[in-house]
Structure 1
Amino acid sequence: MFNIIKDNSQRFVTGSILLAVVLAVGLIDNYFLTWLFFGIVFMFAFYETLKLLKMDSHNNLFFWALMLWLTAYFYPNPDDLFFIVAIIFASFLAYHKDYDTRNFIPFLYPASSFLFLLALYHDFGMNALIWLLIVVASTDIGAFFAGKMFGKTKFCETSPNKTLEGVVGGVVLATSFGSYYALVLVDIPYALIISFLTSVASVFGDLFESYLKRRAEVKDSGNILPGHGGVLDRVDGYLFAAPAMVVLLRGLL
C-alpha cells in the first residue's frame, strides 16, 4: 500500500488540496458561497464537455450556461430548470428545423447534474452534500485500492483499467462509511439503501465520462488538476450520484 501511495503522490497532494477547499466551503455553509463554488466547477466541466464532444466552436453556449446558473441561484427548485431548458430547446428546434441538436447535450450533461447538486443542498442542507461527498469519495478510494491490490476481473470494455473487484470494494466501503454518516439524517435502512444506490450511480458516472473520453480519443478531460486530469475527471461520479441521491431522498423520506 505504501508503494501505491508513493507512486501516486501527485494525485494525493492534489486530492488533499481539493478536499481542503471543499471542507472550507462545507464549514462555512453559506448558500451563496456554495452556489459560487459549484458554479466555478460547473463552468470548467461545461468547457471540458464541449471539448470531449468536439464542440469547441460553440462558445455561445457558455453564455446560456452562465444564465442558467445565475437563474438557479434565485429559483426555488434548481433541478426544475433543466425541464424548462428542455422545453425551450424543443420549441426552438420545432421553429428552426435545421437547428444543431448537439447544442442540447451539454445541458443534459453536465448542466442538469449540477442543478441537482444545488438542489440537494437547497432541499436537504450541507449534511446531505457531505453525505454525497463521503459516498462518492469512498467509492473512488475503495475502488482504487481494492483494484490495485486485488483487481483481476475486467469490469467492462468501456474502462479497461476498472476491475470488478475494485468496483465491489468501492461500493462496499462507500455503503459502510456513507451509512454511518447518514444516521444524522435518516434511519439505518434508508441510510444503507441510499448510500448503496448512490455509490452504484457514481460508478456509472465515472464510466460514462470514460465513454466520452474514449470517443474523443483522449486520456483525460483536461490538465488543470495535476495527477487527476481535468475537472470533469474529478467530478464525474458526482454527476450521476447527485441526481440519484436527490430522487431517493425525495422518494423514500
Structure 2
Amino acid sequence: MNELLTSSSTRIKTALALFALFIVVSYIDTLFVTWIFLGVFMIVGVHEAMNLFKVEDSRVYQYALISWIIAYFYPNPEVLVLVALVIFAGNLAYKRDMDKKIFLPLLYPLVSFLTLLALYTEYGIEVFWWMLFVVASADVGAYYVGRAFGKTKFCETSPNKTLEGVAGGIVLAAILGPIFAIDGITYWGTLVISIIVAIASIFGDLFESYLKREADVKDSGDILPGHGGVLDRTDGFLFASIIMLVLLRAII
C-alpha cells in the first residue's frame, strides 16, 4: 500500500513539474524557447524509440539533430524528415552497410516532433493548449469511464482499455475541446477536430503499447519518475499532432 502511494505521489509530482514547465514555455512564447523545449523531448524520444526498435546506429541522432536545426529556419519543418529519409536511402544504396530499421525512429517520433514545431509556427502556443486538453480529456475520460462502466475489451494490444472507456474519453474531449480551441474556426469545426484528434491520440497510446509489447518492456524509458519515458508521456500527442496539423490546414 505504501509503495502504491509513493508511486502515485511521484507520478503526480512529475506531472505537476512538467505542467509548470509548459506554463513557463507558454508564458515566454518564443520560437527559440519552444524549439529548445520540444528538441529536448525529441532527442530523448528518438533515443527511446531506438531502444524499442532495437536500432543501434548512431547516425539516427545525426539525422534527427540536423533535421531539427534546419527546422528552426525552415517554414515547413515536418517535411524535413523526407530529406533525411532520402539521404538515408541514398547511403543505403551506395554503401549497403546500414541497418534498414534506421528509418523507424525517423518516422516515430521525429516526424511528430517536427509536426509539433510546425503547429507552433503556424498557429501559436494556443494550439498546444487545445491539443493538451483534447488528449488529456481522451485519456482521463477513457480511464475513469472504463473503470466505472467498462466491460467490452477494446483490442488485444491493450487488454485494460475498454470500448466504453474509449467512447467516454472521446465524449469528454468533444465537450472540453471546443472550449479551448483557437480562434477562427466555427464551433462545429472545433468539435469535429477535437473528436478526430482525440481518436488519433487513443491510437497513439495504443501504438506505444504495441511497441513496448514487441520490445518486451514495461516503459519506453525511465527519465520521468512515475511515468516512464518521454514516449510514455507523449504517445497520444505524437499521433494527435499530425492529424491536428492536417485538419487545421484543411479548414483554415
Shorter-chain TM-score range: over 0.9
Deviates more, 1:210-219 or 1:67-76: 67-76
Report the Cα offset of residue 28 of structure 1.
1.5
Partner of 2:144: 145
In structure 1, C-alpha distance between the alignment counterparts of 2:151 and 2:7, rounded to whole Å: 20
Q: Does 1:27 align with 2:27?
A: yes
In structure 2, C-alpha distance between the alignment counterparts of 1:157 and 1:35, rounded to whole Å: 37
In structure 2, C-alpha distance between the alignment counterparts of 1:39 and 1:6, rounded to whole Å: 30
In structure 1, C-alpha distance between the alignment counterparts of 2:163 and 2:13, rounded to whole Å: 27
Partner of 1:208: 207
Partner of 1:37: 37
In structure 2, C-alpha distance between the alignment counterparts of 1:221 and 1:170, rounded to whole Å: 24
In structure 1, C-alpha distance between the alignment counterparts of 2:121 and 2:58, rounded to whole Å: 30
Report the Cα offset of residue 12 of structure 1.
2.4
The question of whether the paired residues in 2 share the 8 Å contact of 1:182 and 1:191 is answered with yes
Partner of 2:245: 246
Identity %: 51
Secondary structure, counterpart of 1:159 in structure 2: coil
Q: Does 1:89 align with 2:88?
A: yes
Q: Does 1:101 align with 2:100?
A: yes
Gaps of 5+ in 1: none
Report the Cα offset of residue 154 of structure 1.
1.2
The question of whether the paired residues in 1 share the 8 Å contact of 2:14 and 2:226 is answered with yes
In structure 2, C-alpha distance between the alignment counterparts of 1:35 and 1:68, rounded to whole Å: 12
Paired residue type of 1:251: A
Partner of 2:112: 113
Paired residue type of 2:18: L
The question of whether the paired residues in 1 share the 8 Å contact of 2:126 and 2:182 is answered with no
Q: Does 1:15 align with 2:3?
A: no
In structure 2, C-alpha distance between the alignment counterparts of 1:149 and 1:45, rounded to whole Å: 33
Partner of 2:128: 129
In structure 2, C-alpha distance between the alignment counterparts of 1:76 and 1:224, rounded to whole Å: 31
In structure 1, C-alpha distance between the alignment counterparts of 2:21 and 2:5, rounded to whole Å: 21
Q: CA RMSD in A?
A: 1.9
Deviates more, 1:115-124 or 1:99-108: 99-108
Structure 1 segments, 4+ long, off by >4 Å, are: 4-7
The question of whether the paired residues in 2 share the 8 Å contact of 1:5 and 1:12 is answered with no
The question of whether the paired residues in 1 share the 8 Å contact of 2:197 and 2:243 is answered with yes
In structure 1, C-alpha distance between the alignment counterparts of 2:37 and 2:74, rounded to whole Å: 17
Report the Cα offset of residue 76 of structure 1.
1.4
